[in-house]
């Protein structure tokens, strides 16, 4: 009979111990993971379903064959526009904070990887608003504790969503986290909205879902009024631009077919490549979100989502508004005009050019470059070979973008622009795509490509005076007539003598003031116009009735000499705002008015450096106070 050696016995015992240790470790890991897995399941259960169960396959499926494109998309702000709330996606702090929103308290807390808020009940607020009540004045609303489950935005600011008691509805957690300022503000202050407006109580399923997700289906049940919302994917993903991918995936399971397409470079009919579409259809792929539209069948959209797929014609299922001389009568726009002028003012300048951000397709389609040429969004932008900040294609951040079609100007820049070749005044986009559109606390380029005009009847700030802030419309009109034979407009004495930026800042509506305030902090404009004299005008905007205008003014003021560390809270109490204005004016005087490099009646600054207060106040008394509620 054999015997077991001491060495074998030792290995046997050690193996048993190792097995026991692994088993115990596994049990402990499972026990430790159980709360996390339970938390994750609760999070998933509280969200609209990601995955439609039809021909949408998700970006994860695309990744296997298209890793480079997946990587470039993954680093984009399109991808992170909508994200499940997590440690990686939530940018705002939640560590036991109390944030006040116009008298309502929000208590933000964090529990491990979960983000929670004790808040006024958003379902209650939604119901009250739908009954026609103003909830802003309610002092003690009912409160609930909600988990933050979804985020919107990751570039300039971020908003958040919490579950509702009504099926898959997501209610707004109505605070916004400003990324640059690293602070929380009430949602109402993040938009250009009339002072005194009621609280914003939006639902993700009705509004943000349209453009901030891929393949959205609100899922309205007409009998119960409840929603069973689904999306192909949170965020703007592959199938938003290329269409549903199921057929493409099935067809390309064959390696023979894949390599044949790779070698021949031929089009694959199972998927949409926007760059292979004509300029109209490829631009409409972007226009499905970047446009001002209404769906033709609202009930069908609420039940089944958009009928549009990339490659289709948008006008088959949607109505896109055209303001400026449409080729045929636009009955829906006319009805909108009859119903409320405010709706149009929230999108268009009075001359019909777009002034609210996010409507680039609406603007571009009115440009001669589009109607008489073949420009498309992809002429300048690239989704897979660009910086995420603006997604301009490689080399398209300057004049080369325009020289693609207008090559005859490549060697005639000075002759055409009448500015030094190296100057900002010779950059095509500064003249033909000026910063006249507002959104996200800044001015952005107009995509309605046109020529500068000093005609005040358009009401839109012109490119020349947005750079030459210290000059009048009369000055601009003179040069446009002399250089380009533009008709000389009829101007008032004010328009002939007072700088355009001064008129927009003091007399203009909220959009004029926001755009002018931004321009007063734009480096090319400060180089052309001098820096320092703008301070009193920006100081006045520190008490503007629109909170968004105040933040834009603050940001520009900090770019002027002596104001780099200026202390100001743009959502502070009225007395604090007034004190900040006086502090800014005092700081301007102490900085030395005598050293200003720009003086003159057109900017209300005398030779002694003093502000001409009488003229300043006369224009201020003429301010356009019509309410504006921008549709960003």
In this prediction, residue 14 has a pLDDT band, given cuts at 50, 70 and 90, of low
Residues 6+ apart with CB under 8 A from 262: none
pLDDT of residue 496: 96
Provide, rounded to the nearest whole percent, the portion of the chain with pLDDT above 70: 90
Taking alpha carbons only, the member of 285, 279, 280, 273 closest to residue 309 is 285
Strand partners, 27: none
pLDDT of residue 10: 64
Q: Does the pLDDT of residue 594 top 90, yes or no?
A: no
Q: Does the pLDDT of residue 130 top 60, yes or no?
A: yes
Label residue 205 left, alpha or beta by phi (over 0 means left) and psi (-120 to 50 means alpha).
Answer: alpha
DSSP string computed for 364-386: HTTSHHHHTS---GGGTB-SSSB
pLDDT of residue 341: 57
Q: Does the pLDDT of residue 11 top 90, yes or no?
A: no
In this prediction, residue 94 has a pLDDT band, given cuts at 50, 70 and 90, of very high
Residue 101, φ and ψ in degrees, nearest 5: -125, 95
pLDDT of residue 590: 85
Helix (H) or strand (E) holding 126: helix 122-130
In this prediction, residue 339 has a pLDDT band, given cuts at 50, 70 and 90, of low
The stretch 576-593 carries a mean pLDDT of 91
pLDDT of residue 15: 67
**8 A C-beta contact, residue 515 and residue 488:** no
Which letter does DSSP use for residue 564 in this model? T
Taken as a whole, the chain contains a residue count of 632
The stretch 94-121 carries a mean pLDDT of 96
Measure the CA–CA gap between 566 and 378, rounded to whole angstroms.
42
Give the tens place of pLDDT for each residue, 393-405.
Answer: 999 999 999 999 9
Q: Does the pLDDT of residue 148 top 70, yes or no?
A: yes
Give the tens place of pLDDT for each residue, 247-291.
Answer: 999 999 888 787 777 777 778 899 999 999 999 999 999 999 999
Q: Does the pLDDT of residue 337 top 90, yes or no?
A: no
Q: Does the pLDDT of residue 199 top 80, yes or no?
A: yes
The stretch 561-576 carries a mean pLDDT of 95
pLDDT of residue 9: 64
Give the tens place of pLDDT for each residue, 61-88.
Answer: 999 999 999 999 999 999 999 999 999 9
**3-class SS letters over 182-225:** CEEEEHHHHCCCCCCCCCCCCECCCCHHHCCEECCECCECCCCC
Q: Does the pLDDT of residue 39 top 80, yes or no?
A: no
Q: Does the pLDDT of residue 477 top 70, yes or no?
A: yes
**Mean pLDDT taken over the chain:** 91
The stretch 298-303 carries a mean pLDDT of 93
């Amino acid at each position: 009979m054999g015997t077991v050696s001491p060495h074998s016995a030792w290995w046997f015992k050690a193996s048993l111990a190792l097995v026991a240790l692994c088993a115990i470790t596994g049990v402990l890991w499972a026990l430790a993971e159980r709360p996390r897995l339970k938390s994750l399941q609760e999070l998933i259960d509280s969200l609209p379903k990601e995955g439609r169960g039809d021909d949408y396959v998700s970006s994860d499926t695309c990744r296997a064959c298209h890793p480079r494109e997946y990587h470039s998309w993954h680093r984009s702000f399109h991808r992170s526009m909508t994200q499940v709330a997590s440690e990686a996606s939530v940018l705002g702090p939640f560590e036991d904070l109390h944030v006040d929103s116009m008298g309502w308290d929000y208590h933000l807390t964090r529990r491990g990887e979960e983000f929670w808020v004790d808040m006024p009940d958003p379902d209650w607020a939604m119901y009250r608003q739908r009954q026609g009540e103003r909830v802003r004045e309610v002092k003690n609303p009912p409160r609930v504790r909600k988990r933050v489950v979804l985020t919107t935005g990751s570039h300039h600011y971020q908003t958040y969503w919490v579950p509702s008691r009504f099926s898959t509805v997501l209610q707004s957690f109505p605070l916004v986290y400003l990324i640059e300022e690293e602070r929380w503000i009430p949602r109402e202050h993040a938009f250009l909205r009339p002072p005194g407006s009621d609280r914003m109580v939006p639902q993700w399923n009705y509004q943000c879902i349209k453009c901030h997700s891929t393949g959205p289906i609100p899922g309205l049940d007409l009998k119960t009024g409840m929603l069973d919302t689904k999306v192909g994917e949170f965020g703007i993903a592959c199938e938003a631009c290329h269409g549903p991918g199921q057929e493409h995936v099935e067809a390309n399971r064959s390696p023979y077919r894949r390599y044949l397409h790779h070698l021949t470079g031929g089009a694959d009919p199972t998927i949409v490549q926007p760059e292979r579409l004509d300029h109209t259809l490829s631009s409409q792929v972007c226009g499905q979100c970047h446009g001002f539209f209404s769906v033709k069948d609202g009930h069908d959209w609420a039940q089944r989502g958009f009928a549009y797929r990339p490659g289709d014609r948008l006008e088959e299922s949607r109505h896109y508004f055209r303001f400026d001389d449409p080729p045929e009568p636009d009955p829906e726009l006319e009805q909108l005009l009859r119903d409320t002028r405010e709706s149009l003012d929230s999108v268009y300048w009075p001359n019909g050019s777009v002034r609210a951000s996010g409507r680039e397709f609406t603007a571009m389609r009115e440009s001669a470059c589009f109607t008489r040429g073949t420009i498309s969004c992809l002429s300048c932008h690239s989704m897979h070979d660009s910086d995420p900040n603006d997604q301009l294609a490689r080399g398209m951040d300057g004049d080369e973008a325009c020289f693609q079609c207008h090559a005859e100007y490549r060697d005639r820049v000075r002759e055409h622009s009448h500015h030094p070749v190296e100057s900002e005044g010779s950059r095509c986009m500064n003249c033909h795509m000026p910063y006249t559109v507002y959104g996200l606390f800044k001015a952005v380029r107009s995509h309605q490509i046109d020529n500068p005009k000093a005609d005040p009847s358009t009401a839109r700030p012109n490119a020349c005076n947005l750079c030459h802030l210290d000059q009048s419309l009369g000055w601009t009109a003179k040069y446009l007539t002399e250089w380009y034979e533009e008709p000389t407009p009829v101007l008032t004495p004010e328009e002939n003598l007072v700088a355009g930026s001064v008129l927009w800042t003091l007399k203009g509506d909220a959009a004029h003031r926001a755009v002018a305030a931004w321009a007063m902090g734009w480096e090319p404009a400060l180089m052309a116009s001098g820096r320092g004299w703008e301070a009193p005008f920006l100081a006045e905007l520190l008490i503007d009735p629109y909170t968004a205008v105040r933040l834009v003014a603050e940001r520009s003021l900090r770019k002027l000499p002596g104001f780099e560390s200026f202390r100001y809270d743009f959502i502070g109490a009225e007395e604090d705002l007034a004190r900040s204005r006086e502090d800014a004016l005092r700081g301007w005087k102490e900085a030395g008015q005598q050293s200003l490099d720009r003086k003159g009646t057109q900017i209300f600054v005398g030779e002694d450096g003093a502000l001409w207060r009488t003229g300043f106040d006369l224009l201020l008394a003429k301010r356009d106070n019509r309410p504006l509620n921008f549709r960003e």
